[in-house]
Amino acid sequence: MKRPIKVLVAKPGLDGHDRGAKIVANALRDAGIEVIYTGLHQTPEMILDAALQEDVDVVSLSILSGAHMTLLPRVRDLMDEKGLDDVPLVGGGIIPEGDVKKLKKMGVSEIFGPGTDTRDIVSYINELFEHRSKKRAG
Query: Domains of the chain by range and CATH?
Result: 6-131 (3.40.50.280)
Do residues 75 and 67 lie in contact, with contact meaning Cβ atoms separated by under 8 Å?
Answer: no
User: What global pTM score does this model have?
Assistant: 0.94
Say what percent of the chain tops pLDDT 70. Answer: 98
> How many other C-beta atoms can be found within 10 angstroms of the C-beta atom of residue 31?
17
Q: Could you give the residue ranges of the DSSP H alpha helices within the chain?
A: 19-30, 44-54, 68-81, 97-105, 118-137
Read off the pLDDT of residues 89-103 as tens digits, 9 standing for 90 and up.
999 999 999 999 999
**Which has the higher per-residue pLDDT, 131 or 23?**
23
Phi and psi, residue 86, nearest 5°: -95, 0
Tallying the residues shown for the chain, one arrives at: 138
Instruction: Please choose, from the candidates 82, 93, 94, the residue with its C-alpha nearest in 3D space to the C-alpha of residue 47.
Output: 82
1 or 68, higher pLDDT: 68
